[in-house]
Amino acid sequence: MEEVIRVLVVDDSAYVRKVIKQMLSRSPFIEVIGTARDGREALDCVAELQPDVVTLDLIMPNMNGVEFLREQMQRRPLPVIIVSIASESGETALEALDAGAVEFVQKPTALATEKVFEISDELIQKVKAAAQIKLSNLPTNTNNRITSPLVSKVSSGAVDIVVMGISTGGPQALSFLIPQLPEDFPIPVAVVLHMPVGYTEMYARRLNDISPLKVVEAKEKDPVTAGTVLIAPAGRHLSFIRQPDGSVLTHLDARPFDTLHRPSVDVLFQSAAEVFGDRVLGVVMTGMGSDGKQGSAWIKSHGGLIFTEAEESCVVYGMPRAVEEAGLSDKAIPLNQITTAIMGVL
């Protein structure tokens, strides 16, 4: 029988605390064992109640969410899901991920209205996933990491693009991996990272600051060129269009509407296979669910390569597991060896 997940809800709004408790209580496998009004009170509650998962607001008096995270992770690491508003706390949310938060859910509004209930299903799903997370696999302090980019070599032309799909644990894993790619990396990289709307541009800027490569949030009709990492914008699928002169441009679209995620790894991978044929390397990394499995099948059917992150380094072994179990992975690789493996097939 599934064990009940014990959750502490931290938010300075009494209304939001009540609503989150109501939402989580819809699941028979989740019990809200306490609430806290700020980070300082949350530290005491964690010590006393020993929750399995914490949901955390970021903007709070006395001690904010990031301060709580930094202190709590030193005391006893545990899975923390940010529940906040992008417009008010975007940079703070990225700091929270650096400090050890594993997921975030975007509040639809700062106001005490019924709209808050819209996040109910997503929050329940992410709390269940967070309870299974391997926190020891979460790369930390990636912004301060001194990385040693690999030495490049002239591309043999076997691969013309690297496409990556990643979710839970993704911001930290990419902040570890991308800075290791050399400045003269000979092909483009495109990434779908499951993030709420409002975060991908800021995240791309931060990743650009610590990487030899140019990292940008993809815009419509961006050229797909060597040495550039394109991050799909939250809320839009990223695909490719080959021009009559042979160059390739990005295309952003809300369609298809029937995907679980937007952007979708499957949409990116399928487009890469259709435009670049057998010269595609797809990399599926940590994350829950199975986004990327169908896209990996497209890449394989066109003769391309698929790498998956090995279970031993995944924060959540969901997306890579789905690809692996479908027999679509050419190689399962721990996070700290993925860049070397990518360089090995160029």
Among the candidates 133, 165, 184, a domain finishes at 133
| Residue 87 appears among annotated catalytic residues | no
Instruction: Evaluate if residue 143 carries a pLDDT over 50.
Output: no
Q: Residue 314 and residue 186: Cα distance in Å, rounded?
A: 27
Pair (155, 127) in one structural domain = no
220 and 71 part of one domain: no
Say if residue 116 is in the same domain as residue 207. Answer: no
Do 24 and 154 share a domain, yes or no?
no
The confidence score (pLDDT) of residue 195 equals: 86
Q: Is 261 designated active site?
A: no
Going by pLDDT thresholds of 50, 70 and 90, the confidence category of residue 156 is: low
Assess whether 105 and 172 both reside in one domain: no
pLDDT at 137: 80
pLDDT at 112 over 60: no
Backbone angles phi, psi at 138, to 5 degrees: -85, 115
Domain boundary pick from 133, 151, 167: 133
**Residue pLDDT, tens place only, 250-293:** 999 999 888 888 999 999 999 999 999 999 999 999 998 999 99
* Catalytic residue selected from 89, 291, 313, 329: 291
Same domain? 169 vs 308: yes
Domain coverage including residue 315: 142-344
Co-location of 166 and 123 in the same domain: no
Whole-angstrom distance, CA of residue 95 vs CA of residue 177: 18
Average pLDDT (199-209) is 92
From 133, 162, 188, give the residue that closes a domain: 133
Choose the catalytic residue: 98, 160, 175, 194. Answer: 194
Say whether both 226 and 116 belong to one domain.
no
Q: What is the mean pLDDT of residues 22-26?
A: 92
Both 156 and 111 in one domain: the answer is no
pLDDT, tens digit, 9 for 90 and up, residues 328-339: 999 999 999 999
Q: What is the pLDDT of residue 92?
A: 84
Q: In this structure, are 267 and 161 located in the same domain? A: yes
Preceding omega of 256 cis (within 30 degrees of 0): yes
Tell me the CATH number at 76. Answer: 3.40.50.2300
Residue 72 has pLDDT above 90, yes or no: yes
More confident of the two residues 309 and 113:
309
Domain of 169, CATH number, reads 3.40.50.180
Residues 210 and 109 in one domain: no
What are the pLDDT digits (tens) for 210-249?
A: 999 999 999 999 999 999 999 999 999 999 999 999 999 9
CB neighbour class for 233 (10 Å; exposed up to 12, middle 13-18, buried from 19): buried
Please say if 291 is a catalytic residue: yes
Reduce the DSSP state of residue 343 to 3 states and report it.
helix
Domain count, the chain: 2
Indicate if the pLDDT at residue 115 is higher than 70: no
Query: Which of 167, 239, 271, 313 does the annotation list as catalytic?
Result: 167
Residue 154: per-residue pLDDT: 47
- What pTM does this model have? 0.88
Shared domain check, 114 and 19: yes
Quote the CA–CA distance of 17 and 11 in Å, as a whole number: 6
The CA-CA-CA angle for residues 99, 47, 57, to 5°, reads 45
Cβ contacts of 133 within 8 Å, gap of 6 or more: 79, 102, 168, 169, 315, 316
